[in-house]
Amino acid sequence: MELQILVPNRPKPSVPVQNPAPKEDCRIFKAKGACPFGDKCRYKHVKALPSNNSRQDATKNQ
């Protein structure tokens, strides 16, 4: 006797399913400014804004 497993045939979607928008920032991109995964990375690539810390530190030291 042979056991057969029946699997239902599901139609393939006509439009490719897109992943939801990433919620977390990419740690590699944040640290290095580039990510080896590029557009296929599952995380957000957010460029850091220049900070004004150097100007604030200079006024604190005076």
**Residue 50 has what pLDDT?**
65
Helices (H) and strands (E) in the chain, counts: 2, 0
Q: b/e string for 1-16 if b means 16 or more Cβ within 10 A? A: eeeeeeeeeeeeeeee
**Residue 28 has what pLDDT?**
94
**Residue 38 has what pLDDT?**
92
pTM as predicted: 0.45
In a structure prediction context, what are the per-residue pLDDT tens digits for the chain, which is 62 residues long?
A: 788 888 888 877 676 666 677 789 999 999 999 999 999 999 999 876 666 655 555 555 55
* Alpha carbon distance 2, 61 (integer Å): 83
